[in-house]
Structure 1
Amino acid sequence: MWRTPTLPSVVLLVAAALSACNAKPKADDPVAPTPVEAARVAAPDAAGSVGGAGTLERRREMALSFRIPGVLTAMRVEAGDSIRAGQAIAAIDPAGVDARQQQTAADLERARRDVERDRTLFDKGYVSRQRLDDRASALKAAQAAYDSARFDRRWASLVSPVSGVVLERRAQAGEVVAAGQVVARVADLGSPLVLRLPLAARDAARVRVGDTAQVRVEDFGDQALPGRVTRVGEAADTRTGAIAVEIELSAPPPALRSGQIAHASLAVRAAPGAATAYTRIPAEAVLEANGQRAFVFRFERGKARRTPVIFGGFDGDDALVAGLADGTQVITAGAGFVADGEAVRVIDPTRLDR
């Protein structure tokens, strides 16, 4: 059974309806700026620095091998052993070369007898001058074969050409080794410790013999060791295109060893004939590189600004660009996910994923 609403109830319903009609929709919350990372650009200098990582070596390091093949009968050293010049470090079975030496000795003796006999016959007019000349040529060939066999016999024992240390042993007694196969590497500890540094051609062109360098060795703290450029390669590596630069360490600590990885920074001058002065920025900041054209996003007053640059190529984790003013901030992490004019905020990298 329906009941008629009371007056107070009607008043409340009307008030609620009027309130609903007069209510305005809430405005959308503002979009939060996109978090990004940024790096500040330093203006390129006519003089600057280049750097890279390489391997420490003694200037005189040698890979030792036998001139002839054979069975390795003795390996008398281990890695780390001290050695002296002339010390025997390995030997191969000389049976084969001994047999060849005996054979060539017999051939030489026969050739000598042939020459003596034909010379007597030539004096008596029984043989021609041509035959005597042929015998003389055969004697020279036999002598050369004998000398070669004697020389090879000396190589049945491998001796160290320097006093120093064994860096590596690469063979064991009982193995068959080929001619030229490396069985050990040795170093002359009296020779300087140098850093072999592969550099891109554009950087190597700025390096000169005598340039100073600061060298830091991995696992050796943050100590900077002074060095000096002593050689700049004349040819690029056929596989990588890098040019080797040699840096001699001025006073290396005794604890440094050949084979350790080191990083070097060299004070250099501008590349000869360079028309454009490039500066380095993180490679991830460069977008849509095509030839010498590319663009980056600048961070300016809370906005991402698309900016064209001259692109000079990549060098490791860096990109070489021109056209950015000193102090410009370029967006690195996140550059591929923002648009021109979009609101962004630069944050600490450790908070980027929060």
Structure 2
Amino acid sequence: MKIKQLGYLSAALLLTLSACGNEGNNNDENGDDEEIVVIPVEATTVSRGDISAYYSNTATLEAEQEALVVAKVRGIINQVLVEEGDFVRAGQVIAKIEDEQYRIEAERAKSNMDRLYNDYTRSKELFEKQAISAEEYQNKQFEYEAQKSAY
């Protein structure tokens, strides 16, 4: 029986010693073992300075909207008013075309229109005085009206 008591006593002593020997273990409430890591840092006072950071990458971009750009007349572009990537509105002028030839043609058409108008008014006066035939008057009137609609 003494051996039995000695066995119980040694078991109780082992339990007591194992409960007291917890110096190296840091267990939190959840029972997880967590190791504290010390990170060295350097402290300094606040001062103004340049920040240099950049990011370089390549990509393919697609426009949200695409537009067909068409000139009303043919010609050589002598001035571009926008840069690539600029936002533009519908109807905005983005380039100017050399227009000297068109100005000459417009002046020629205007002078031709003025001449036909003068011929028409003169033939109208002559027709009213019965100095020219109705056919000649109608020809002048037709030429003037045709040029007027084309102008």
Structure 2: unaligned runs, 5 residues or longer? 1-61
AA at the equivalent of 2:75: G
For residues 93 and 80 of structure 2, the distance between their equivalents in structure 1, rounded to whole angstroms, comes to 9
Q: 1:114 to 1:99 in 2, by over 3 A?
A: same
Q: Quick check: 1:106 aligned with 2:97?
A: no
Extract unaligned runs of 5+ from structure 1: 1-55, 147-354
Compare CA radii of gyration and give the structure with the larger one.
2
Measured against aligned partners, the alpha-carbon deviations of 1:70-99 in whole angstroms (never above 9, x if no partner) come to 111112223321123443201101101000
Name the structure 2 match of 1:142.
Answer: 147
Instruction: Quote the residue 1:80 is aligned against.
Output: 85
Residue matched to 1:96: 101
Larger relative helix fraction: 2
TM-score by length of 2: 0.53
Once the two structures are TM-superposed, the CA of residue 57 in structure 1 deviates from its matched residue by 7.0
For the aligned residues, what is the CA RMSD? 2.0
1:130 corresponds to 2:131: no
1:7 alignment counterpart:
none
Aligned residue for 2:142, secondary structure, equals helix
Q: Give the secondary structure class of the aligned counterpart of 2:132.
A: coil
Alpha-carbon separation, structure 1, partners of 2:146 and 2:104: 18
Equivalences, count:
90
Percent of residue pairs bearing the same amino acid type: 26
Q: Give the equivalent residue in structure 1 for 2:122.
A: 117
One-letter amino acid of the counterpart of residue 114, structure 2:
E
Letter in 2 for 1:78: E
Q: What is the 5 A alignment of 1:184-203?
A: none
Secondary structure of the equivalent of 1:74? strand
Q: Kindly state the Cα deviation for residue 134 of structure 1 after the two structures are TM-superposed.
A: 1.0
Aligned to 1:66: 71
Residues 76, 90 of structure 1: 8 Å contact kept: yes
How far apart are the structure 1 equivalents of 2:66 and 2:107?
A: 36
Cα distance between partner residues in 1 of 2:119 and 2:102: 26
Task: Sort the Cα spacing of 1:62 and 1:140 in 2 relative to 1 into closer, same or farther, 3 A.
Answer: farther
Q: Indicate how the Cα distance of structure 1 residues 121 and 138 shifts in structure 2: closer, same or farther if over 3 A, else same.
A: same
Letter in 2 for 1:129: A
Q: Counterparts in 2 of 1:265-284, with a 5 A limit?
A: none
Offset of 1:61 from its aligned partner? 3.6
SS of alignment partner, residue 113 of structure 1: helix
Please show how residues 16-95 of structure 1 align to structure 2 within 5 Å: 61-95=66-100
SS at 1:100's partner residue? helix
TM-score of the two chains, using structure 1 as the length reference: 0.24
Any conservation in 2 of the 1:104–1:145 contact (CA below 8 Å)? no
Return closer, same or farther for 1:129/1:62 CA change in 2, 3 Å cut-off: farther
Looking at secondary structure, tell me which structure has more strand per residue: 1
For residues 303-322 of structure 1, the aligned pairs below 5 Å read none
